[in-house]
């Protein structure tokens, strides 16, 4: 029905958003690419000429690179397993008839709204502190030696903090997906005598597969770039230096922009690999 007139008007109306995002994407991206091929040390001589692929090679061959990849994978993987696993269970639990469902929902969702710096500091000091933290009290109560969480179990600690932040997101989305499950199909299988575990495995889980995929993809994109949680807890020490944190240190702390930019390009590529899968699912949904 759209006329020629409304079409050009539509294009005009889209222009600001498109131009802004195009600029936001292209300008920094081109600059990062440019710097990544340069020897650029703002505090130690500035622009020292072209570096070819040196920065890319040096970034990957530095002793900090593989540990950072490992830390990233452990944190992302650990948080995904915990949030999706408990998210499914919690989603099913919250979908059951009960008293005060609305209140419980609010309690469960709350951590999502806590800013990263607050949750990291609260966990670090009030729970994981080896002398005064609640965990230390709990451990002592049972006669055990308190764990020095952030240095002796640093990755576990970060995973715990991040999982606490993201469990509400997973739960909420999986709960929404469960609510759209066909109740009659479940009832029929229940009457046919299918045990609960089988009903879960053959009916509930397949129904949730799409929602689980979406949770995994979206969380991965956010988890790959967690920053504040590491900055205020360990500052990248004790093996918690993720790829994001390593690049941050190269760029802003040691001011080696060329090297950091090469790392940035790696991070962009990594994120895009995940993004392609997410976009495919979202795109499919647009057609429907």
Partner 1 sequence: MARAVTNQRKAINTAAAWIVGLLIFFPILWTILTSFKTEAVAIADPPVFLGFDWTLENYRTVLERSNYARFLWNSIIIAGGSTVLGIIVAVPAAWSMAFVPSNRTKDILLWMLSTKMLPAVGVLYPIYLIFINLGLLDSRLGLVVVLMLINLPIIVWMLYTYFKEIPVDILEAGRMDGASLKDEIIYILTPMAIPGIASTLLLNFILAWNEAFWTLNLTAAKAAPLTAFIASYSSPEGLFYAKLSAASTMAIAPILILGWFSQKQLVSGLTFGAVK
Name, in order, each residue with C-beta under 8 angstroms of 255's C-beta and a sequence gap of 6 or more: 41, 42, 43, 44
Work out whether 209 is an interface residue with partner 1 (CB under 8 A): no
- Of 75, 167, 204, 216, which one interacts with partner 1 (CB under 8 A)? 167
Answer for which of 41, 153, 181, 228 binds partner 1 (CB under 8 A) is 228
Q: Does 39 help bind partner 1 (rule: CB under 8 A)? A: no
Q: What distance in Å separates the CA atoms of residue 143 and residue 175, rounded to the nearest whole number? A: 39
Backbone angles phi, psi at 162, to 5 degrees: -65, -40
Our finding on whether 252 is near partner 1 (CB under 8 A) is: yes
Residue span binding partner 1 (CB under 8 A) among the ranges 68-76, 187-195, 196-204, 222-230: 222-230
Contacts of 77 (CB under 8 A, 6+ apart): none
Give the span between the Cα atoms of 110 and 112, in whole angstroms.
5
Q: How far is the CB of 235 from partner 1 (least distance, A)?
A: 9
Q: How far is the CB of 16 from partner 1 (least distance, A)?
A: 5
Q: Look at residue 88 and give its three-state secondary structure.
A: helix
Q: Pick the binder of partner 1 from 216, 224, 236, 240 (CB under 8 A).
A: 224
From CA 68, how far away is CA 197, in angstroms rounded?
39
170 binds partner 1 (CB under 8 A): no
Identify which of residues 127 and 238 has a Cβ nearer to partner 1 in the complex. 127
By the 10 Å C-beta count (0-12 exposed, 13-18 middle, 19+ buried), 98 is classed as exposed
Task: For the CB of residue 126, give the shortest distance to partner 1 in the complex, in Å.
Answer: 6
Q: Which stretch binds partner 1 (CB under 8 A): 43-51, 70-78, 166-174, 184-192?
A: 166-174
Among 53, 66, 201, 227, binds partner 1 (CB under 8 A): 227
The least CB distance from residue 63 to partner 1, in Å, is 20
Give kind and range of the element (H or E) at residue 16.
Answer: helix 4-36
DSSP for 243-282? HHHHHHIIIIIS--HHHHHHHHHHHHHHHHHHHHHHHHHH
Q: Using CB under 8 A, which residues numbered 82 to 121 contact partner 1?
A: 90, 93-94, 96-101, 103-119, 121
Instruction: Give the range of 56-64, 75-83, 185-193, 213-221 binding partner 1 by CB under 8 A.
Output: 213-221
> CA-CA distance, 67 to 99, in Å (whole number)?
48
Determine which residue in the list 64, 181, 186, 278 makes contact with partner 1, applying CB under 8 A: 278
Does the footprint of partner 1 cover residue 29 (CB under 8 A)? yes
The residues near 122 (Cβ < 8 Å, ≥ 6 apart) are 114
For the bound state, the minimum distance from the C-beta of residue 233 to partner 1, rounded and expressed in Å, comes to: 8
């Amino acid at each position: 029905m759209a006329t020629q007139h409304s079409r050009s008007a539509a294009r005009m109306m889209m222009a600001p958003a498109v131009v802004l995002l195009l600029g936001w994407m292209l300008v920094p991206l081109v600059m990062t690419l440019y710097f990544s091929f340069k020897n650029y040390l703002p505090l130690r001589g500035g622009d020292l000429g072209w570096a070819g692929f040196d920065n890319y090679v040096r970034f990957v061959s530095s002793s900090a690179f593989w540990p950072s990849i490992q830390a990233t994978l452990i944190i992302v993987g650990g948080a995904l397993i915990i949030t999706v696993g408990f998210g499914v269970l919690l989603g099913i639990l919250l979908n059951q008839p009960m008293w005060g469902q609305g209140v419980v929902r609010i309690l469960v969702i709350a951590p999502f709204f806590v800013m990263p710096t607050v949750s990291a500091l609260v966990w670090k000091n009030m729970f994981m502190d080896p002398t005064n933290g609640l965990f230390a009290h709990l451990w002592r109560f049972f006669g055990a030696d308190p764990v020095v969480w952030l240095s002796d179990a640093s990755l576990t600690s970060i995973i715990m903090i991040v999982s606490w932040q993201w469990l509400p997101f997973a739960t909420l989305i999986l709960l929404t997906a469960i609510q759209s499950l066909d109740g009659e199909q479940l009832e029929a299988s229940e009457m046919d005598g299918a045990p609960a575990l089988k009903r879960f495995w053959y009916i509930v889980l397949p129904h949730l597969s799409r929602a689980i995929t979406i949770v995994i993809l979206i969380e991965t994109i956010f988890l790959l770039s967690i920053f504040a949680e590491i900055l205020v807890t360990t500052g990248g020490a004790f093996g918690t230096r993720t790829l994001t944190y390593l690049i941050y240190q190269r760029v802003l702390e040691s001011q080696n922009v060329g090297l950091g930019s090469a790392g940035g390009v790696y991070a962009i590529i990594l994120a895009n690999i995940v993004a392609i899968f997410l976009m495919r699912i979202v795109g499919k949904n647009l057609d429907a």
